[in-house]
Amino acid sequence: MQGTTNMIGQTPGPGSPEPITVHIGADLQDIVPTFLANRRNDLHTIRTALAEKDFDAIGILGHRMKGDGGGYGFQAISEIGGAMEMAAGRRDQPAIERYTAQLEDFLIRVTVMYR
């Protein structure tokens, strides 16, 4: 899958105008838009949880992203989710903020191509 490898250390970083293309099987075409919309909703939930210092909620969301991302064809979401889950366990707010920005950047730049 092009564009999804190593999102955590990927360059160029957030704010890059370069699109990220992810190739996904046509059998997922009906559910991928909802999956991505739910990840956009997660951004708001994560930010609210950060403001409330609810690291448990962030850990749960990160764990869910880690498990679900790859199944939908988005390895980058799995990587970000896993890193976010670990950061939540450490209560590392700056790291969670970085991973939240990476998730937002990915969601802005991703283009899905169905095959």
Query: What is the maximum alpha-carbon separation in the chain?
Result: 42
The domain at 27-114 falls in which architecture?
Up-down Bundle (1.20)
Lowest mean pLDDT among 8-12, 39-43, 47-51, 76-80: 8-12
Q: What is the 3-state secondary structure (H, E, C) of 57-102?
A: HHHHHHHHHHHHHHHHCCHHHHHHHHHHHHHHHHCCHHHHHHHHHH
Q: In the chain, what are the domain boundaries?
A: 27-114
pLDDT per position as a tens digit, 20-35: 999 999 999 999 999 9
pLDDT per position as a tens digit, 73-84: 999 999 999 999
- If phi > 0 it is left, if psi is from -120 to 50 it is alpha, else beta; for residue 18 that is beta
Distance, CA of 6 to CA of 79 (rounded, Å): 7
The whole-model pTM stands at 0.85
Q: Other C-beta atoms within 10 Å of 87: how many?
A: 22
Distance, CA of 34 to CA of 29 (rounded, Å): 10
The answer to whether the CB of 23 falls within 8 A of the CB of 4 is no
